[in-house]
Amino acid sequence: MSGILLLGAGGQLGREVVALAEERAVALTALDRAGLDIADAAAIERVIGQARPDIVINAAAYTAVDRAESEPELATAINATAPGLIAQACARHGAALLHVSTDYVFDGTKPSAYVESDAIAPLGVYGASKAAGEGAVREALDMHVILRTSWVYGPHGGNFLKTMLRLAGERDRLTVVADQHGCPTATRDIAEALFTAADAFRAGTAVPGTYHFAGSGATSWHGFATEIVARAARHTGRLPEVAAITTAEYPTPARRPANSELSSDLFAARFGYRAAPWRQRTAEVVDRLLAAT
């Protein structure tokens, strides 16, 4: 057995994992949705049995937080049932599983950063489905790392940063929620963390379990948007107003945690890697995207 099998290669995180693997010449088999339907138990068994990886990274997920409220069966199939099936196949074939989860397993009532031992209490279907997926992985497989992350953004796919860049080019005034706080996390850092954990499993030094991994520092959605727009102005010369509003002024189908800050101290202590400051990574991603236009 050798090599890493990546599931969810077509998503924003999966594409970053593929890019980092190419940079590092890491042996990686990358499958997108067309390559593997993770809701198909027989297909999961066949793919993992044939590939015989020593590490499986599950970056596949249903991430449409609001739409999940009207599609609970689909969200549950992808986020809850599939991770359990993947973990079961890993157990049968002797592979470790690195599974990506979310800050939305928490209800946001804690006044400080969440740590791994805090009780989960998801507010909506998306968070509940991800929490169930975590439980399924723990039940099926000892050799796992569940990596909870938050406010994910990067150069690929759809995300908050790219939405703000688009709106900043179209409007003179943006309104963004200012009473939800969290840690913006770049896909580059998550990919680095996943490879760090994979290396630890191969070296026999990994401590399996659930870990928080998020960008260093915290902000509000309004603070994040302000940083994005200010950085973009260096390229475009446009600096629209970013006005602060409350969650109550921007109703959505799914409730979101008011505070989903994650402490990454445990992952840093056990694996020796910590994400870069979120402002640094935000500047890098904005510069990359706008330099390409």
Cα-based torsion angle of the residue sequence 253, 255, 261, 263 in order, rounded to the nearest 10 degrees: -100
Q: What secondary structure letter does DSSP report for 95? A: -
Burial (CB count within 10 angstroms: exposed 0-12, middle 13-18, buried 19+), residue 241: exposed
Of 1, 48, 8, the C-alpha closest to 194 is 8
Residue 126 bears catalytic tag: yes
Q: Which two tokens stand for residue 275?
A: 């994400």
User: For residue 124, which of 151, 153, 148, 103 has the smallest C-alpha distance?
Assistant: 103
Identified catalytic residue from 126, 211, 250, 273: 126
Kindly compute the dihedral angle of the four CA atoms of residues 184, 187, 188, 193, in this order, to the nearest 10 degrees.
90
Q: Which residues are catalytic?
A: 126
